Chains A and B, each alone.
Chain A
């Protein structure tokens, strides 16, 4: 009896201490989620004062809209491309940084720099470097005898530019995850394999890659979440153009809300994004499960 009441007391007291954090989180995520569902069932345009209940009409509208599916397709294509590049760059740099060469931590610092820069500033710097007329890159291309590329006025170059800037900005994250993973592999495995006559490639495929499986999963899931919510760089570089060739689904949602003022319709789209994020998050929590020890 004594024990139960002391636990009840600790519980009450603990929640009291968590009140500020719980308030912030619930006021933000809890309220937003509920309210997003409410407005998604209304025809809610900021330019009109009438906001009638329309049931699932907003959902039907985007699920039957080619624009929505197109933006989703563009997002998936973007994700596939940046995923490959981020994993390759992250893993390559991590493997190099694992070697015990002089100035290693300085190089690690240099290779981490993109991580602290903002998406928006990164986007603008890349826009300037890739400027079709006066950008340094087109100058270099011309001076080695290649043709200048109209980076922002054609779909494929614009898409590539967006992907390159994004990869530059986010690969350090994958690099650090892989580096931590590599450092946790016991050297004895490599030594034993070397004694058995395994070459470097065999060792990489048979030892390194299998050991890095959790890191691959973490990078894949977190990168997917990030791409589905990435919008800063689209603002900074392409604004969805030319045409709609770089209109990611996040940008599609945002412009429907804040350019066309269609709050109900956009909230309905946001719910589809939320569901994607939720599925990815659940996968992530499942992967992390062994690492999450409460207390």
Chain B
């Protein structure tokens, strides 16, 4: 008996150590990016390399904002991602509500349509959309990115929100109908408040996906003032020949907001991820 519990303990210690080792390995790239971003150019290229910066140097970050138009890109990313979240949640919540609560003709078909749109990635649509946005004179505008991101995410949001709404007891709606509330009032007064945790998780997942998006952003903008974060970082690397210190500083700044969201909401976001798509 004692032997067995000792074996179990050893096993637990091994698992613990393995998890620690793998975590360290997996976290190395972002940690190394942070370390690099805090070193001056000379130390960054020094041989042998220093693991931690000899002293914290903020010049790389300063350069991003003084010598490069990085603040504008941060702002662009923030505006585009926030507007996309608003539009997606607005359209998604209304659709998710009727799909979760109403019986209507063609429901299976509509649901299948949304499911297909959630699964089919946007890359094959990029050429027709580029030509369309060109005709509509929407290239280099927030509108193009917001519309494309919302269209790309709305089916995903319906998929998640439908699940959250379905878990709210239907008796509440029925009671409200008996009290003479309109459908809109039910959505605003009952569904919305109770679904807030689900809506928040969905909104954050969509925000992260827009914030991280690159291909659509690089295709539909070519003006420097319209670049989002990922596009700006890509151009620093590819065309500006910026030093690695500043590229890593920009990367760190791109990572920090999503990591903060993730740290605070890990459990809810994971629930969303297991239910939802691969993105």
Contacts and interface: CB of A to CB of B under 8 A. Distances in A.
B104 A7 contact: yes
A10 B278 contact: no
Interface stretch (B56-64, B118-126, B172-180, B189-197): B118-126
Contact of A113 (B26, B107, B110): B26
Given A17-B94, A128-B247, A7 B105 contact: yes
A14 B266 contact: no
Nearest to A256: B127
A235 B91 contact: no
Given A10-B104, A116-B262, A28 B27 contact: no
Interface stretch (A68-76, A150-158, A206-214, A262-270): A262-270
Contact of A125 (B26, B30, B49, B112): B30
A127 to B, nearest CB: 8
A24 to B, nearest CB: 4
B179 to A, nearest CB: 19
Interface string B12-48: 1001101110110011011011001000000011011
B12 A36 contact: no
A190 interface: no
B140 interface: no
A88 interface: no
B106 interface: yes
Which range contains the number of B residues in contact with the other chain?
A: 35 or more
B29 A281 contact: no
B211 interface: yes
B255 A229 contact: no
Interface string A76-107: 00000000000000000100110111111101
Nearest to A106: B23
Contact of B19 (A107, A126, A134): A107
A272 B148 CA distance: 22
Contact of A121 (B18, B103, B116, B251): B251
29 contacts: A10-B104, A13-B104, A14-B107, A15-B104, A20-B91, A21-B91, A21-B155, A22-B110, A23-B91, A25-B113, A28-B148, A39-B128, A112-B262, A113-B26, A116-B212, A117-B212, A118-B211, A124-B233, A128-B244, A134-B244, A139-B48, A229-B122, A232-B215, A236-B234, A257-B130, A270-B127, A285-B112, A294-B99, A295-B107
Contacts of B103: 7, 10, 295
A105 B27 CA distance: 15
Nearest to A231: B215
A116 B259 contact: yes
A223 interface: yes
A24 B273 contact: no
Given A28-B151, A109-B266, A117-B30, A96 B104 contact: no
B128 A21 contact: no
Given A29-B151, A118-B230, A139 B49 contact: yes
A125 B127 contact: no
Interface string B215-245: 1001100000000001001100100000010
A125 B29 CA distance: 6
B74 interface: no
Nearest to A115: B273
Interface residues of A, number: 95
Contacts of A223: 278
A29 B32 CA distance: 40
- Main SS of chain A's interface residues? helix
Question: Nearest 3 pairs between A and B by C-beta?
Answer: A118-B212, A28-B151, A20-B91
Contacts of B78: none
Interface string A109-151: 1111111111111101111110100101001000100000000
Interface string B78-110: 000000000100111011011110111111101
A194 to B, nearest CB: 11
Contacts of A285: 112, 115-116, 119
A127 B248 CA distance: 11
A45 to B, nearest CB: 12
Interface SS of chain B? helix
A113 B258 CA distance: 10
A281 B111 contact: no
B73 interface: no
Nearest to B219: A258
A101 B12 contact: yes
A284 interface: yes
A274 B35 CA distance: 42
Given A17-B95, A18-B94, A284-B119, A28 B26 contact: no
A229 B123 CA distance: 6
B247 A126 contact: no
B120 to A, nearest CB: 5
B202 interface: no
B138 interface: no
Interface centre among B23, B30, B87, B148 (most CB of A within 10 A): B23
A284 to B, nearest CB: 6
A121 B233 CA distance: 8
Nearest to B34: A125
